[in-house]
Amino acid sequence: MDKDRIYGTTKEFAGKVEGAAGEIAGDAKTQASGRVREAAGMAQDLYGQAKDAVSDAADTAVNYAKDAYDNRGETIRSGQKAMAKTLQENPIGSLLIAGGIGFALALLMTRQPRRPPPRWRYYG
């Protein structure tokens, strides 16, 4: 739990108490001050919740990255086996896909260079 959540909850509770005291006493200024403190506490609590959520997400991402790093050899081997199996099951489709990729790369590499825009000469 983040300290902003604790401080925010405390401010929110104090604002509720102050607002209730102002309502009982009939003092509009104290009541408004309590509502402002309550809103500020709620905002600080939400900020603390957001920080906690980001921290948890970062920890989860780090754990996933560590697992992927630890199992990298196994993942590569299983990917190679799956690719080899697909190639053996459908060699013509694989050949067509490889040819399409090569054709697209050839088109990209042999594209004509851009010409500069025509220059206009003003004779005045």
Residue 118 lies in a domain: no
Question: What's the number of domains the chain is made of?
Answer: 2
What percent of the chain is predicted at pLDDT more than 90? 19
Range of the domain at 20: 1-70
Q: Is 117 among the domain residues?
A: no
Q: Specify the pTM.
A: 0.51
pLDDT at 21 over 80: yes
DSSP for residue 110: T
As a whole number, mean pLDDT of residues 41-70 equals: 89
**Is the pLDDT confidence value at 124 over 70?**
no
Question: Is the model's pLDDT at 39 over the cut of 80?
Answer: yes
Residue 95 to residue 90: CA distance in whole angstroms: 9
Amino acid (one-letter) located at 23: E
Q: Are 37 and 11 in contact (CB under 8 A)?
A: yes
Residues 37 and 91 in one domain: no
